[in-house]
Amino acid sequence: MLSLGTLLLGLALLIIVALVVALPLFDRKTPAIELPSRREALAQERRAVISAIRELDFDYHTGKISAEDYKRLREARVARGAQILRELAELADEHGATDVEAEIEAQVARLRKVATSDGRAPARAVCPSCSRVVGADDKFCSQCGRRLQPRQSEAVASAE
Amino acid sequence: MFADLGHLSVIFAFVACLYAAVVAPLGAQRNDDRLVQSGRIAALMTFPLVLIGCLGLWHALLTHDFGVQYVASVSSRATPVFFRITALWGSQNGSLLFWCLIMSAFVAAAMVRDWEDAGDKSLLPYVTMTMALVLGFFLFLELFLANAFVRTDFPPQDGRGLNPLLRHPGMIIHPPMLYAGYTGLLVPFAFCIASLITRRSDDLWLRSSRRWTLVGWAFLTAGLLLGGRWAHDVLGWGGYWGWDPSENKPLITWLIATPFLHSAMIQEKRGMFKNWNVFLMMLTFASMFFGTAFIRSGLLTSVHAFAASDIGPFFMGAMVVILTACAALWLTRLDVLRSENKLDSAFSREGIFLIQNVLFLSTAFTVFIGTIFPILSEAISGTKITVGPPFFDQTVGPQLAALVALMGVAPLLAWGKSNGAAVGRQMLGPLTFAAAVMVALLAAGATQPVPLLLFGLCAYTLAQTVMEYVRGARARMHSMNEPAPLALVRLAQRNQRRYGGYLVHLGVVLLAIGVIGKGFYGYDTITTPAVKLNESFTVGDYTFTYRGIRPVPCEFNDCQTIQAMLLVTSAKDGRVLGAVFPHRDHYPVQQHTATIPAISGTFNTEVYVLLAAWEDGGATASFQVYINPLINWIWVGGIVMILGFVVCFWKAPERETVTSPAVAQRAIRAGVPAR
The DSSP string of chain A is ---HHHHHHHHHHHHHHHHHHHGGGGSPP--S-PPPPHHHHHHHHHHHHHHHHHHHHHHHHTT-S-HHHHHHHHHHHHHHHHHHHHHHHHHHHHT-S-HHHHHHHHHHHHHHHHHHHTSSPPPEEE-TTT--EEETT-SB-TTT--B--HHHHHHHTT--
Rounded to 5 degrees, φ, ψ at B502 are: -65, -35
Rounded to 5 degrees, φ, ψ at B605 are: -130, 115
- Do residue B122 and residue A35 have CB atoms under 8 angstroms apart? yes
Tell whether the model's pLDDT for residue B636 goes beyond 80.
yes
pLDDT for residue A97: 52
pLDDT for residue A157: 37
pLDDT for residue A155: 38
Tell whether the model's pLDDT for residue B205 goes beyond 80.
yes
pLDDT for residue B134: 93
Distance CA B426, CA B438 (A): 20
B173: confidence class by pLDDT, cuts 50, 70, 90: confident
pLDDT for residue B422: 84
3-state SS class at B583: strand
Cβ atoms within 10 A of the Cβ of A28, count? 6
Shared domain check, A47 and A89: yes
pLDDT for residue A160: 31
Residue A77 domain flag: yes
Percent of chain B at pLDDT above 70? Answer: 93
Domain that holds residue A69: 38-96
pLDDT for residue A116: 57
Shared domain check, A92 and A120: no
> How buried is B396 (Cβ within 10 angstroms: 0-12 exposed, 13-18 middle, 19+ buried)?
buried
A115: confidence class by pLDDT, cuts 50, 70, 90: low
pLDDT for residue A96: 57
3-state SS class at B603: coil
Residue B357 vs residue B306, higher pLDDT = B357
Q: What is the mean pLDDT of residues B58-62?
A: 95
3-state SS class at B569: strand
Distance CA B368, CA A20 (A): 45
Mutant choice from B199, B272, B417, B474 vs A, greatest count of A C-beta within 10 A: B417
pLDDT for residue A65: 81
Stated pTM of the model: 0.84
The DSSP secondary-structure symbol of B540 reads: T
Tell whether the model's pLDDT for residue A156 goes beyond 80.
no
Q: What residues in B contact A20, CB-CB < 8 Å? A: 41, 45
3-state SS class at B202: coil
Nearest to B210 by CA among B108, B330, B113: B113
Tell whether the model's pLDDT for residue B516 goes beyond 60.
yes
Q: What is the mean pLDDT of residues B513-527?
A: 90
B479: confidence class by pLDDT, cuts 50, 70, 90: confident
Residue A92 domain flag: yes
Count contacts between A and B (CB, < 8 Å). 153
Could you tell me how far CA B168 lies from the centroid of its own chain? Answer: 18
Tell me the shortest Cα–Cα distance from A89 to chain B, in angstroms: 21
pLDDT for residue B150: 92
Residue A145 domain flag: yes
Tell whether the model's pLDDT for residue B180 goes beyond 70.
yes
Shared domain check, A46 and A90: yes
Mean pLDDT for chain B? Answer: 87
Residue B204 vs residue A104, higher pLDDT = B204
Highest mean pLDDT (candidates B201-205, B475-479, B494-498, B579-583): B579-583
3-state SS class at B348: coil
Nearest to B343 by CA among B413, B422, B426: B413
pLDDT for residue B298: 58
Considering only CB atoms, A17 lies closest to which of B49, B125, B422, namely: B49
Residue A3 domain flag: no
The answer to whether ipTM exceeds 0.85 is no
Nearest to B604 by CA among B624, B582, B627, B581: B627
Mean pLDDT for chain A? Answer: 75
Q: What is the mean pLDDT of residues A25-41?
A: 76
Q: What is the mean pLDDT of residues B438-454?
A: 93
Residue A45 domain flag: yes
Q: What is the mean pLDDT of residues A42-51?
A: 83
- Do residue B28 and residue A32 have CB atoms under 8 angstroms apart? yes
